[in-house]
């Protein structure tokens, strides 16, 4: 019986130490005073994000950005680089989903993410929604503050909100 008790204690300790990070979620939306097709003509270009997200300095792509597996490489203004792959593209629904291929903690303090961008009708205009699911930059049990869940949420929220603000300005013709 004593051996069984020891094995159970070790098993419980192992489970407790293996907890790790939980997935974090972020969502940002913006309403744009333009029809969905006009918004999609800009937002729907998978590799065209450098044209509307002010945090992206430049972008290149492999593929036309409409097929699963097409990729884009984004250089951010902070010097970080994001390598992303398209998972699903649906022009009829004005939606695409993609994921991070290789983490760059300088770009964003996250170890992985997947995201979806959609454009839908909203009154006389459009609603653009950007959803993301990610894991913090340090997936250990005690991450440093700069690679924590909070740091990841803050960075992803800033990236999405800057992008949607830039898209709104581009579509509506503002600054």
Whether 25 shows a pLDDT value over 80: the answer reads yes
pLDDT tens track for 46-91: 989 999 999 999 999 999 999 999 999 999 999 999 999 999 999 9
Over residues 27-51, the pLDDT tens digits come to: 999 999 999 999 999 999 998 999 9
pLDDT for res 97: 98
Three-class HEC string of the chain? CHHHHHHHHHHHHHHHHCCCCCCEEEEEEEEECCCHHHHHHHHCCHHHHHHCCCCEEEEEEECCCCCCCCEEEEEECCCCEEEEEEEEEECCCCEEEEEEEECCCCCCCEEEEEEEEEEEEECCEEEEEEEEEEEECCCCCCCCHHHCHHHHHHHHHHHHHHHHHHHHHHHHCCC
pLDDT in tens, 152-173: 999 999 999 999 999 999 999 8
Q: What percent of the chain is predicted at pLDDT more than 90? A: 82
Q: Residue 175 — pLDDT band, cuts 50, 70, 90?
A: low
Q: Provide the pLDDT for residue 125.
A: 97
Is the pLDDT reported for residue 148 higher than 90? yes
pTM recorded for the entire structure: 0.85
Q: Which domains does the chain have, with CATH numbers?
A: 22-172 (3.30.530.20)
CB 48 within 8 A of CB 59: yes
- 19, pLDDT greater than 70: no
pLDDT of residue 4: 45
* pLDDT tier at 3, thresholds 50, 70, 90: very low
């Amino acid at each position: 019986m004593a051996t069984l008790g020891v094995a159970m204690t070790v098993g419980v300790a192992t489970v407790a130490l293996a907890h790790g990070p939980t997935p974090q979620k972020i969502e940002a939306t913006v309403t744009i005073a333009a029809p969905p097709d006009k918004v999609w003509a800009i937002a729907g270009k998978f590799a065209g994000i450098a044209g509307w997200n002010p945090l992206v300095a430049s972008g290149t792509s492999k593929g036309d950005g409409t097929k699963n597996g097409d990729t884009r490489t984004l250089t951010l203004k902070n010097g970080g680089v994001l390598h992303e792959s398209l998972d699903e593209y649906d022009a009829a629904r004005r939606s695409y989903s993609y994921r991070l291929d290789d983490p760059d903690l300088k770009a964003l303090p996250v170890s992985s993410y997947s995201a979806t961008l959609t454009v839908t009708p909203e009154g006389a205009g459009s609603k653009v929604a950007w959803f993301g699911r990610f894991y913090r930059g340090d997936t250990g049990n005690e991450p440093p503050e700069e690679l924590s869940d909070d740091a990841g949420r803050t960075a992803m929220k800033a990236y999405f909100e800057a992008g949607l603000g830039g898209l709104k300005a581009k579509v509506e013709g503002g600054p």
